[in-house]
Amino acid sequence: MEDEQLRRRLISTQSKWEREVGYSRAVVDGDWAFVSGTTGFDYAAMTISPDVGEQTRQALKNISSALRVAGFSLADVVRTVYVLPRAEDFPDCWPVLRECFGEIRPANTTFIAGLVDPRMRIEIEVTARRLHDPGPPTRGRRSEMNVASNNSTTRRMS
């Protein structure tokens, strides 16, 4: 039991939703991290952009932050789930998703379903598996895309 407790960690952002609903932003179990569905709210400012592309970028920033605290990065993501209320919004998300996941190409499922707040236009859930030494838990990795940037980046495969 003690070994199991050492392997499982709960990651919290201290949001009111985590307390009120009773969930964690992420759960780490050994080499796995499970990040809850995350929307495009900027929690520091408590604002959300009306633009679905910007919401996608902010959701990925929120996810990246939770993964970093857990000792993971976006490069460790093996599965994504996208939930959008409107199918026609999905193509507007593709450039940001491609920027973050285009090289690692995780497994994906996309749902069209309602979200709890009408301002929310996308929710993203990820599962990550640590495949190598992550270094200190709060340090980013060279392979992680800069989701805060609006500049597109191009990488060449060797």
Q: What are phi and psi of 36, to 5 degrees?
A: -60, 160
Closest CA to 147 of 91, 78, 96, 84: 96
Terminal Cα distance for the chain, rounded: 45
> pLDDT per position in the chain (158 positions), as tens?
455 555 899 999 877 888 899 999 999 999 999 999 999 999 889 899 999 999 999 999 999 999 999 999 999 999 999 999 999 999 999 999 999 999 999 999 999 999 999 999 999 999 999 976 555 554 443 334 444 333 333 222 22
Upper half-sphere CA count for residue 55 (Cβ side, 13 Å): 24
Domain annotation for the chain: domains and CATH numbers = 2-129 (3.30.1330.40)
- State the pTM of this model: 0.80
Buried b (16+ CB within 10 A) or exposed e, 48-59: bbeebbbbbbbb
